[in-house]
Amino acid sequence: MSDTSLDIQASAERVADCLRDRIVKGECPPGSRLVERRLSAELNVSRTPIREALKLLRADGLVEISLHRGAQVVAYTAEEAENLFDLIAAIESLAAERLAGRIGAEVLARLETLHERMLKQYAAREASAYFDTNTEIHDSIVREAGNPVLIDSHRRVAVRARRGRFMAIFDAERWRQSVEEHEGVMAAFRARDTAAAARIWRQHLRHSGESVAETLRRQRG
């Protein structure tokens, strides 16, 4: 691959990260068009990496691209949320179970640091920052479980599920419950309690999925 191709790929990944964050956090709502020309001007990059970034988002299941309408953010339905969170609950609960049985002092300390940061962001109601730290915790649990197949399976569906997880923050009761569930899984990690870690994390993801599906059904009327 030439240096130019590498530069285009790096730019495309940066653009994709930016747009992915906007889609997940609702700044680019379902149905909104992602116009290459506008994005090129706004992000100060050529249209080639914009085009490649949109292909990456299509692979994530966040964008659909058609000849006549261009790129649009895909809809997010209650049924999709339920299906995604069923799968994510299975993957992440297995990761939590594995991690609880093998967690060392260094990994536990990193999770404690992230957890404390998240609690402070919750207390300050800093939704976006809280979500970023929360996502880092979820991803860290999967990564530190030490199973490459599990990591790859999670990567394939986690981005689509994040749209729902961000929505769940805006249900105040669900947000409070979510923080309690994070407290519970941290206690399980400290105790090296594999069964509790799996149970709490499975419930955590299922509760989130239920909350998101209910919100989407209300919006649909």
Per residue in 34-69, pLDDT tens? 999 999 999 999 999 999 999 999 999 999 999 888
pLDDT at 139 over 80: yes
pLDDT at 3 over 80: no
The residue among 160 and 125 whose pLDDT is bigger is 125
pLDDT tens digits, 69-80: 899 999 989 999
CA dist 214 and 217 (Å) reads: 5
Domains parsed from the chain with CATH numbers? 3-73 (1.10.10.10), 78-220 (1.20.120.530)
- Under DSSP, the state recorded for 61 is T
- Residue 4 pLDDT level (bands cut at 50, 70, 90): low
State the pairing for strand pair 63-66/70-73.
Answer: antiparallel
β-pair partners for 71 = 34, 65
What is the secondary structure of 65-117 as a DSSP string?
A: EETTTEEEEPP--HHHHHHHHHHHHHHHHHHHHHHHHH--HHHHHHHHHHHHH
> Which band of pLDDT confidence, cut at 50, 70 and 90, is reported for residue 1?
very low
pLDDT at position 6 over 60: no
Whole-Å CA distances, 208 to 96, 173, 197? 17, 11, 17
- Tens of pLDDT, residue by residue over 163-217, are 888 888 889 999 999 999 999 999 999 999 999 999 999 999 999 999 999 988 9
What is the arithmetic mean of pLDDT over 79-100? 96
Task: Report pLDDT for 202.
Answer: 98
**Percentage of the chain lying above the pLDDT 70 cut:** 96
pLDDT given at position 2 = 42
Residue 27: its pLDDT value, please? 93
DSSP reduced 3-state for 63: strand
Mean pLDDT of the chain, nearest integer: 93
Nearest Cα neighbor of 209 from 83, 30, 107 is: 83
Q: What is the pLDDT of residue 170?
A: 87
